[in-house]
Amino acid sequence: MKYRELIEKMTLEEKASLMSGKDFWQTQEIERLGINSMFLADGPHGIRKQAVAADHLGLNVGIPATCFPTAATVANSWNDELGERVGEYLGEEAISQKVNVLLGPGVNMKRNPLCGRNFQYFSEDPYLAGKMAAGYIRGIQSQGISACVKHFCVNNQEERRMAIDTIVDERTLREIYLTAFEIAIKEGRTKTIMSSYNKLNGTYTNENIHLMKDILRGEWNYKGCVITDWGGSNDRISGLIAGNELEMPTTAGETNEEIIQAIKGGKIKEEVLDQCVDRLLELIFTTEEVYKRPHIEFDVDKHHRVAQKVAEESIVLLKNDENILPLKYGKKVAVIGEFAKNARYQGAGSSIVNPTILDHTMDCFNESGIVSIGYEPGFERYGKKNKKKIEKACELARKADVILLYIGLDEVTEADGLDRQSMSIPENQIDLLNALYTVNSNIIAILSCGSAVEMPWINKAKAVLHGYLGGQAGSRAILRILSGDVNPSGKLAETYPIRYEDTPSFYNFPGKEVSVEYREGIYIGYRYYDTADVNVLFPFGYGLSYTTFEYSDIHVSRYGATFKLKNSGSVAGMEIAQLYIGCKSKEIFRPKKELKGFTKIFINAGETKTVSIPFDDKTFRYFNVKTNKWEVEESEYEIMIGASSADIRLKDTIFIEGTGAPLPYDKETLPSYYLGKTNNVSIDEFERLIGRKVPVSKWDKSKPLGYNDTIAQCQYAKGIFARFSYYMIVFAYWFLRKIGKRSTANIIMMSIYHMPFRGVARVTGGVINMPMLDGILMMVNGQFFKGLVHLLKERSKKLNMEKNK
């Protein structure tokens, strides 16, 4: 241990105190030994350090910080160097606000397009997500502080995220859900990881020995710290044994005492605690070095310009019929859509950033060169229908050559803690589009949202430009694309299905009660659509440009692929070339193609460049469940270079020698997986894949409710008090939505409805402790008066203890 001498000077109580927070965002300090507290802050796309009382829901305004485009947006740039630059600026701003640990980036896979937090995640592909995350981490940590990769792992739904049990086979876990974390750790060298709320195959992730010790500490040789998500600790001792250093937020000393008693009682050895303390001290001491230097404020204008550059490179042109874009000089433009005036530029929940500057479309027209003849909102932001607004918009549209129609999803639809209800954009926006089409068919739709949406209306738009959530400078960036000042170069980091029912996880998302089964296995995103031959609206890796590119002369060696790329159009531009591999053997089921490399190249008009994309240790590997390790199958492999997963321009083959591992599967017993048609796998076949029976996915309504049951389950409680409380919560949610208070209604779902009872103690910072919670559970389970007496008695005991301190 690096800090053995210092640790030997600590009392058991002091060591235990370091294992949980001092308050909502700070860690404990030990002044007599010169150990200072750290500050942790949300920051996937901008620093959220709250100016007043801290919370985790984004209720209180943060100190102004640059709001960069979200991860889902920047992933469309396919530029890990750009991600590293974003990280550097995030790190600078973190230092200006005296933050030690920045809680991001998030690298969970986009298993399903309805996950409410997809705007915070990079991609459906682990290789792309891992490379982008590694760039962010290098940038953040180059400033001397720590990044914190999250949420480790298989946290792919928001509903019941604190209690859901994710059932997934080992190969899928390794190849799809852990690879991005592996790249983030090995290439980004992140100093901290945040464990997720959920269970993995029956055990909470931060207590999961296989995940935390065998894989993270063992195989990946991770030396950094593991931090719980806020309120995400279940059994503190089990978490400590698994190597979870820091529980956040504070529990007012309750779990520290559990650690002390566990050591005194011989349940765990003190050496286990010492090792956790040692790793935490390394994080504290290395991230406070930067604060010994003179304090420097960041350059607000410079950071705003960088945010604009990032947005420009991340915007995706999805459709451009008749080359309506870029806009021709002198065209009269009608600007329609609520999002034009009040930009939709970031997600909601724990990542809300208070921007230093905020560009709105209507304020940026003068410098764009685009001639606007006026603006109409056209629709109510939160879905309410309004015929008068549509009529006014149509009046304006009649006078214009072209309509710029700003549509998308609102802030309360995409939020931390809630999943989306559908893939549609609000009906009132579609009504507007249909009405406008009858008076002027030159419609350019500008989308603002953080995830995939259905587009049954797309034939009524001549162009579709997807800005995603472009941060505080996103509106200006979009105008620069529309005007032609910038040539679009973004490509989709996720597939857009034609309809939600086409998605591979359609029948198994979200888990509504005890568990969620990942029956689709390794076939998520394009891996499924390409293998099962399902048509999509826009494929993974797709994006248009104002120029064209020609691919030629592929040469494949054991080191990688080399080819020529020519800008065959009339304007300079950037192209994202993608390398996919496909195994020709049919002995082990595999996707038709998998992304194994990419590069983004700037090429002047008429210029040709030679491009190389190297192979690496992940190019040909697969995880063998019989040998329990990564293997290479001996086979011919097709090497594909494409402009998207569906637009392969060059092909070649190479023979790769294998590692000689035994075949992991009986082909006859897994027909769906060998065909790749896994959107509706039977439970029997899924059990053959995972090699065991799956747990019952429904609640046992006959059992009393316990710590890990949720408030939502009070609808089945024995206690009248609990059932009444449940219906009051449901009514409050309905009523608040009815009167237009949708953000407040969402908070009820996020912070109450899906909260496990243990979370009440873990998130309240010690206001309610576990003995008090026992009293609440007695009341819930039908022993109202006994529970009330117990609750009051324990509260009195707690208050007396606090007085005597």
Note the pLDDT of residue 52.
53
Which structural domains are found in the chain, ordered by start?
4-292 (3.20.20.300), 308-494 (3.40.50.1700), 526-662 (2.60.40.10), 711-803 (no CATH)
> Which tokens sit at 593?
């193609």
Q: Which among 524, 647, 619, 657 has a CA at the least distance from the CA of 156?
A: 524
Q: What single-letter amino acid sits at 262?
A: A
Bridge-based pairing state of the strands 573-583 and 594-603: antiparallel
C-alpha span between 115 and 118 (Å, rounded): 6
What pLDDT digit, counting tens, does each position of 577-616 carry? Answer: 999 999 999 999 999 999 999 999 999 999 999 999 999 9
Q: Is the dihedral of CA 466, 183, 520, 672 positive or negative?
A: positive
> Which tokens sit at 502?
């086409």
Note the pLDDT of residue 659.
98
Active-site residue (options: 165, 169, 229, 359): 229
Peptide bond into 326 cis (omega under 30): yes
C-alpha span between 53 and 56 (Å, rounded): 10
For the chain, what is the largest distance between any 2 Cα atoms, rounded to a whole number of angstroms?
82
Number of H helices, E strands in the chain: 25, 26
Break the chain down into helix, strand, coil percent, rounded to 5. 35, 20, 40
What pLDDT digit, counting tens, does each position of 687-700 carry? Answer: 999 999 999 999 99
Rg of the chain over all Cα atoms, to the nearest angstrom: 27
Note the pLDDT of residue 528.
98
* Secondary structure (3-state) at 731: helix
Exposed / middle / buried, residue 393 (Cβ in 10 Å: 0-12, 13-18, 19+): buried
Note the pLDDT of residue 748.
85
What pLDDT digit, counting tens, does each position of 610-653 carry? Answer: 999 999 999 999 999 999 999 999 999 999 999 999 999 999 99
Exposed / middle / buried, residue 421 (Cβ in 10 Å: 0-12, 13-18, 19+): exposed
* Secondary structure (3-state) at 255: helix
pTM (two decimals):
0.96
C-alpha span between 583 and 637 (Å, rounded): 5
- Residues of the chain short of pLDDT 70, as ranges, are 51-60, 805
- Known active-site residue 229: yes
